[in-house]
Amino acid sequence: MTLLTLVMVSVGGWKTFSEMSERDRMAAELLALDKKSGELQEAIDEVQKKTKENLEFLSTRIETRKKEASEKEVFLKSLRDQLEAKTSGLSAKTERKEELSSEIQEMKKQIAAVEKEVEHSRNRIRSFALSLPDLEGTISELRASVENEKQRETEGKRSLLTYESKTRIYKEHFEVTLEALQRYMYDRPWLEKGEKLSVPYLQYDFQAGFLGLPVGLERGIEKGMIFSVRANGINLCRIKINDVSPRNSVGMIIPLFGNPVELRKFKSFDLIHL
C-alpha cells in the first residue's frame, strides 16, 4: 500500500512539473509571437512608409510627365502650325523651295522625336498606374498576416492563463496529498507486513551477533519482530528484535541468511518487516 501511495505522489508531482514546463513553453512561445508580431508591424510600417514615398514620387512624376507631354503637344502643334504656314507660303517662295524642304524634313524629325517621347511618357504613366494595385495587394497581405499573429497571440495568452489555473490546482492537490501521507506515515504507531523502514545507520557487534537500531516503539518496532536488512536492494541479513525502547532497539542476527559482514560497506539501510 505504501508503494502504491508513493507512486501516486510521484505521478502527481510529475504531472505538476510537466504542467509547469508546459506553461513555461507556452510563455516562451508567447514571447516569440510577441517578437514576431512586432517585427511584422515594423515591416508593415516600413512598407507603408515606402509605399507612401513611392506614391508621392509617382504622383509627382506623373504630374511632371503630364506637364511635359502637354508642353510637347503645344510645341508639336506650334511646329505643325509653322509647317502649315511654310507649306502654304511655299508656292509664293519657290526660290526657297530647297531650303524649306530641308527645314520640313528637320521639323518632321523633331515631330517624330517629340511623338516618341510623348508615347514613352504615356507608357511609363500606364506602368506606374498598373504597379499601384500590386503595392496595395502587398500591404493588404501584410495587414492580414499581422492580424493573424495578433489572433495567435490572444489565443496563446488565454491558453497560458488556463495552464496557470490547472497548475495551481494540481500543486494544491499535491501538497495536500503529501501532507496527508506524511501525517499518516509518522502518526501511526505500527508497522505492517512488507512495510519498509529506512534508517541512516546501524550499530553492529558481529562477535555477539547483535545489531543496534536508531528506531524503537515510536516507529512501530516491537519485540519479536523479524526484519530483512537491505542496502541498495541487496539482502544483507535478517534480525529478530530482542529489546526495544521508545527510540532504540536491539536485534539478534539470524544465522544462515545473507552475509552480515557486508553491512560495513553501506551507510544507510532499509528494514523490511517480514
Q: What is the CATH number of the domain that holds 158?
A: 1.10.287
What is the model's pLDDT at position 184?
53
What is the model's pLDDT at position 271?
94
Q: Does any domain span residue 202?
A: yes
**For residue range 154-211, what is the model confidence (pLDDT) as tens digits?**
776 776 666 676 677 767 777 766 665 555 555 556 778 889 999 999 998 988 899 9
Give the structural domain span for 79.
2-185
Q: In the listed set 185, 205, 236, which residue is the last one of a domain according to the structure?
A: 185
Q: Does any domain span residue 191?
A: no
Residue 152 in this model has a pLDDT that exceeds 70:
yes
- Indicate whether 32 and 116 sit together in one domain: yes
Least confident of 166-175, 231-240, 263-272: 166-175
Q: In the listed set 155, 185, 215, which residue is the last one of a domain according to the structure?
A: 185
Q: In the listed set 132, 162, 185, which residue is the last one of a domain according to the structure?
A: 185
From the list 245, 235, 247, the residue with the least C-alpha distance to 272 is 235
- Indicate whether 42 and 136 sit together in one domain: yes
Q: Does any domain span residue 176?
A: yes
- Indicate whether 25 and 90 sit together in one domain: yes
What is the model's pLDDT at position 225?
94
- Indicate whether 250 and 114 sit together in one domain: no
What is the model's pLDDT at position 268?
92
Cα(3)–Cα(33) distance, rounded to whole angstroms? 44
Residue 240 in this model has a pLDDT that exceeds 90:
yes
Angle formed at CA 98 by CA 96 and CA 100, multiple of 5 degrees: 65
Average pLDDT, the chain: 81
Q: What is the dihedral of CA 50, 52, 57, 63, to 10 degrees?
A: 160
Residue 227 in this model has a pLDDT that exceeds 80:
yes
- Indicate whether 148 and 228 sit together in one domain: no
- Indicate whether 169 and 51 sit together in one domain: yes
Q: Does any domain span residue 254?
A: yes
The backbone torsions φ and ψ at residue 118, rounded to the nearest 5 degrees and listed phi first, read: -60, -45
- For residues 271 and 200, the answer to whether their CB atoms sit within 8 Å is no
Residue 248 in this model has a pLDDT that exceeds 70:
yes
The backbone torsions φ and ψ at residue 254, rounded to the nearest 5 degrees and listed phi first, read: -85, 125
Q: Does any domain span residue 213?
A: yes
Q: Is the pTM of this model over 0.85?
A: no
**For the chain, what's the residue count?**
274
- Indicate whether 51 and 140 sit together in one domain: yes
Q: Does any domain span residue 190?
A: no
- Indicate whether 98 and 228 sit together in one domain: no
* AA letter at 155: E
DSSP at 89: T
Q: How confident is the model at residue 250 (pLDDT cuts 50, 70, 90)?
A: very high
What is the model's pLDDT at position 119?
84
What is the model's pLDDT at position 53?
80
- Indicate whether 143 and 254 sit together in one domain: no
Task: Output the domain CATH number for residue 241.
Answer: 2.40.10
Angle formed at CA 196 by CA 208 and CA 206, multiple of 5 degrees: 10
- What's 203-263 look like in SS3? EEECCCCEEEECCCHHHCCCCCCEEEEEECCEEEEEEEEEEECCCCEEEEEECCCCCHHHH
- Indicate whether 132 and 226 sit together in one domain: no
235: region left, alpha or beta (phi > 0 left; psi from -120 to 50 alpha): beta
* AA letter at 156: G
Counted domains in the chain? 2
Mean local confidence (pLDDT), 5-33: 75
CA dist 133 → 64, 82, 124, 127, 140 (Å)? 22, 43, 15, 11, 10
Q: Does any domain span residue 113?
A: yes
DSSP at 94: G
Q: Which of 34-38, 89-93, 178-182, 186-190 is most confident? A: 34-38
Cα Rg of the chain (Å, integer): 49
Least confident of 97-101, 105-109, 213-217, 229-233: 97-101
- Indicate whether 180 and 218 sit together in one domain: no
- Indicate whether 35 and 163 sit together in one domain: yes
